[in-house]
Amino acid sequence: MSARQRDRLKIPFKNCRGGICAPQGFLAAAERAGLKKAGLDLAIIFSDAPASAAACFTLNQCAAAPVQLCRRHLKEGSGKARAILINSGCANAGTGLQGVRDARSTVNAVAQTLNIPLTSVLVCSTGVIGLRLQAQRIIAALPACARRLSRKEGARAARAILTTDTVLKVESLAFKMGGRAVRIGGIAKGAGMIHPDLATMLAFITTDASIAPARLQEHLNWCVERSFNCITVDGDTSTNDTVIALANGASGIDVGKDTGMGRHGDTGTLTASPRRRVTASSATNLQKDLSLYFSASPRRRVTASAYPELFRAALLEICQRLARKIAWDGEGSTHHLEIEVTGAKSFRQARNVGRSIGRSNLVKTAIYGHDPNWGRVLSAVGASGERIVQSRIRLSVNQRVVAEQGVLKNIADSVFDPIWRKKRIHIAVDLGLGEHRAVCWSCDLSHEYVDINASYRT
């Protein structure tokens, strides 16, 4: 959602500085351990106080060692955590029990260095699969890293977790509740092996809101479904996908009260509002509903009963921004794809159709080559595995209708020349079957993608 759209919708979020260190009580640090050929490759995110922790991990059945260890610590630590250790340069995946032992030795060192319980340390790795983790290098770099811990190190930590990424992925938002500021910050990495399944790449989100681990997990699951699980770069689900959210309560604002949010169910819509109207934008239904909720009286102080909804909307906004940054930083990409599917029977149907388009090598190469071969989009809709009705499909590209009732229009190629000059290509598909929608993000497939991945290890 652009700042303009947000203003128009009057959702009371404000961008703020600081990334993961924007919320009170969170510190970060980064160091070079020597796992990558050059540059920072080690980061710590630290919470002054025990924070509620929620996480989503890859559904890849060959989950990496750090993923296995994180799962165990979250369980044994009753959903509370203090620190996250992250390294780039080595995924510590396909490394068996030795990999788990290596990960544990680094986590142990973090617990001792920071004087916190072992199970309050989470760990994530990203990089080459199958290499043994050089745990000693990490352990040797830890004291220097710990000494750097401060609120000003958020950007360096965001840099330390990158691999083939070309841009930093940092976001932070502030909003008022009961006259107090609550903040959410997040960083992420990812540019290849991006086709998250129920969770994704690496993303770390911090907030000073107060919320129980179980509620935070509910919110995170809901938001991940609508953000990281809506992106694809190459259709390859990673072994290390992880999203972790920490909430330390430092703002003193409790956003965990139950206000019947279960009603929204899987569809992302609030219970019917007479004023609800579907408009074309990349905001989610929830955001639109919220906007109507808040726009009724934009200056009114948010009442406590709306805290959970506002918090979830802000969490979703952070997740979607980070997810979009990952998709649009896709390896070798030259165009950003936004795929909006409307008229679906369910959110899931809409998303599956969107991801099928975003995953199609043929759609992606056509866009790279500025070839208005929209038939490939139609084919990808049909190949999504979802039951659709061909004769109801309406397809448009940057507001230009290219197919109606499932029939492609005969449009001169030159009509699309202005579209190719834009970085962002917006593909809208209306399935004509229902009222649900989803937005997915992807990128084109270029020679550079082949270059990058034909020699990733070397």
Q: Show which residues are catalytic.
A: 200
Cβ-contact 41, 160 below 8 angstroms: yes
Q: Tell whether residue 95 is a contact of a second copy (CB under 8 A).
A: yes
Q: Is 360 in the site for a second copy (CB under 8 A)?
A: yes
Residue 359 CB, nearest distance to a second copy (Å)? Answer: 7
Smallest separation, CB 104 to a second copy (Å): 16
Closer residue to a second copy, CB minimum distance, 19 or 372:
372
For residues 54-93, which are near a second copy according to CB under 8 A? 59-63, 91, 93
DSSP letters for 61-111? SS--HHHHHHHHHHHHTTTEEEEEEEEEEE---S-HHHHHHHHHHHHHHHH
Q: Does 408 bind a second copy (CB under 8 A)?
A: yes
CB atoms within 10 A of CB 212: 15
Residues 300-339 that bind a second copy (CB under 8 A): none
Nearest distance from C-beta of residue 192 to a second copy, angstroms = 7
Contact indicator for 345, 219 with CB cutoff of 8 Å: no
Nearer Cβ to a second copy (61/399): 61
Q: Which is nearer to a second copy, 295 or 391 (CB)?
A: 391
The verdict on 350 binding a second copy (CB under 8 A) reads no
Could you tell me the smallest distance in angstroms from the CB atom of residue 419 to a second copy?
16
Q: Which of residues 134-153 bind a second copy (CB under 8 A)?
A: none
Q: Which is nearer to a second copy, 17 or 447 (CB)?
A: 447
The nearest distance, CB 56 to a second copy, in angstroms, is 16
24 vs 229 by CB, closer to a second copy:
229
Q: Is residue 115 part of the contact set for a second copy (CB under 8 A)?
A: no
Angle at 251 between CA 245 and CA 252, to 5 degrees: 110
Answer yes or no whether residue 170 interacts with a second copy by CB under 8 A: no
414 binds a second copy (CB under 8 A): no
Contact with a second copy (CB under 8 A) among 151, 281, 304, 456: 456
Nearest to a second copy of 171, 329 (CB atom): 329
For residue 450, state whether it binds a second copy (rule: CB under 8 A). yes
DSSP 320-339: HHHHHHHHHT-TT--SEEEE
End-to-end CA distance of the chain: 38
Q: Considering the complex, state which of residue 34 and residue 375 has its C-beta at the smaller distance from a second copy.
A: 375
Nearer to a second copy, 111 or 402 (CB): 402
Per CB under 8 A, 455 contacts a second copy = yes
CB of 157 to a second copy, least distance (A): 26
349 interacts with a second copy by CB under 8 A: no
CB of residue 60 vs a second copy: minimum separation in angstroms?
Answer: 4
Strand partners, 170: 187
Using the rule CB under 8 A, which residue among 405, 415, 422, 424 binds a second copy? Answer: 405
- Interface residue with a second copy among 174, 403, 425, 428 (CB under 8 A) is 403
Question: Which member of 16, 128, 139, 140 binds a second copy (CB under 8 A)?
Answer: 128
Q: Mark residue 179 as left, alpha or beta (left: phi above 0; alpha: psi -120 to 50; beta: remaining).
A: left
Positions in 215-234 near a second copy (CB under 8 A): 234
- Considering only residues 264 to 303 of the shown chain, the ones binding a second copy according to CB under 8 A are none
Instruction: Find all residues with CB under 8 Å of 323, minimum gap 6, and list them.
Output: 188, 200, 203, 227, 228, 230, 231, 441
Decide if residue 396 touches a second copy (CB under 8 A).
no
Q: Is-contact 9 34, C-beta < 8 A?
A: no
* β-sheet bridge partners, residue 15: 173
CB 44, min distance to a second copy, A: 26
Phi/psi for 146 (5° steps) reads -60, -35
Total residues in contact with a second copy, by rule CB under 8 A: 75
Q: Is 242 a binder of a second copy (CB under 8 A)?
A: no
Residues 362-391 that bind a second copy (CB under 8 A): 362, 365-366, 368-376, 378-384, 386-391
* Contact with a second copy (CB under 8 A) among 71, 101, 236, 348: 236
Alpha helices per DSSP H over 161-244: 213-225
Would you say 224 and 212 are in contact if contact means Cβ atoms under 8 Å apart? no
In the list 76, 197, 266, 417, the residue contacting a second copy (rule: CB under 8 A) is 197
